[in-house]
């Protein structure tokens, strides 16, 4: 099992699509309309199901505002630079409700914002350990951060993927060079 999507009801679909794509860097994955039941769906995310969880933005035609109630908590998104992300949120219609800073009693930098509809979003800043092992969260490597059903909690950035590919190619090249030298040494020894 995996989490596929979370649905948020929005009052202005285009405003929400713009916020999640232009401000938070998600992609508009697909849209659909249901004329019979009068709603439009837009799925946004950092990648498609089943590898990435998505946000389903639901616009019920003619409804421009919802009561939030007190049951909804927040969604969490990792960010490379929380300070810049919070400035982008402010500049594009969102509100910063907790300024970036360390979590109480810890060193992980977090912030809370609301999107244009008032949904709470927690940003958790990612730290690179410098040892080529990717990012860490509270000192735990991203490789160890998996949910019980295999859902990765932190997804590598494009830069991390490219770095891993380069390191892999370099390692393969070195192994092949070492194997050729070893084989050459054996040939000389047997001659």
Q: Token pair for residue 177? A: 């060079």
Q: Which residues contact 148 (CB under 8 A, 6 or more apart)?
A: none
34 and 5 assigned to the same domain: yes
Print pLDDT tens along the chain (191 aa).
889 999 999 999 999 999 999 999 999 999 999 999 999 999 999 999 888 999 999 999 999 999 988 899 999 999 999 999 999 999 887 899 999 999 999 999 999 999 999 999 999 998 755 443 344 444 443 433 333 323 334 445 556 556 666 666 665 565 666 565 666 676 677 76
56 and 3 assigned to the same domain: yes
**Known active-site residue 122:** yes
> Could you tell me which residues are annotated as the binding site?
56, 74, 122
Give the closest residue to 40 by CA, choosing from 49, 32, 52: 32
Domains contained in the chain, number: 2
Residue 185: inside a domain, yes or no? no
The helix (H) or strand (E) run that includes residue 56 is strand 54-60
In angstroms, rounded to a whole number, what is the distance separating the alpha carbons of residues 168 and 176? Answer: 12
Structural contact between residues 49 and 5, judged by C-beta atoms closer than 8 angstroms: yes
56 and 113 assigned to the same domain: no
Residue 99: inside a domain, yes or no? yes
Residue 143: inside a domain, yes or no? no
Decide which of 113, 128, 143 is a domain's last residue. Answer: 128
Residue 176: inside a domain, yes or no? no
47 and 86 assigned to the same domain: no
Q: Which entry of 33, 67, 122, 125 is annotated as an active-site residue?
A: 122
Residue 114: inside a domain, yes or no? yes
Residue 102 sits in a domain whose CATH number is 3.10.180.10
pLDDT at 126: 86
80 and 107 assigned to the same domain: yes
Decide which of 128, 147, 170 is a domain's last residue. Answer: 128
Query: Looking at residue 147, what DSSP letter applies?
Result: -
59 and 85 assigned to the same domain: no
> Could you tell me which residues are annotated as the binding site for Zn(2+)?
56, 74, 122
Q: Are strands 75-79 and 120-125 parallel, antiparallel or unpaired?
A: parallel
* Residue range of the domain that includes 9: 1-65
């Amino acid at each position: 099992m995996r989490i596929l999507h979370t649905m948020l009801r929005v009052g202005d679909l285009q405003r929400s699509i713009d916020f999640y794509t232009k401000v938070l860097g998600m992609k508009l994955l697909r849209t659909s309309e249901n004329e019979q039941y009068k709603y439009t769906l837009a799925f946004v995310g950092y990648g498609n199901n089943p590898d990435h969880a998505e946000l389903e933005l639901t616009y019920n035609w003619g409804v421009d505002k919802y009561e939030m109630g007190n049951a909804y908590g927040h969604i969490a998104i990792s960010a490379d630079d929380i300070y810049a992300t919070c400035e982008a949120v402010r500049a594009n219609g969102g509100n910063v409700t907790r300024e970036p800073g360390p979590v109480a009693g810890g060193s992980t930098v977090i912030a809370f914002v609301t999107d244009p509809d008032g949904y709470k979003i927690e940003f958790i800043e990612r730290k690179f350990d410098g040892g080529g092992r990717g990012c860490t969260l509270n000192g735990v490597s991203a490789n160890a951060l998996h949910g019980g059903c295999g859902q990765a909690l932190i997804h590598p950035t494009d830069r991390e993927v490219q770095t891993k590919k380069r390191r892999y190619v370099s390692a393969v090249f070195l192994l092949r060079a070492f194997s050729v030298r070893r084989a050459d040494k054996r040939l000389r020894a047997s001659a």
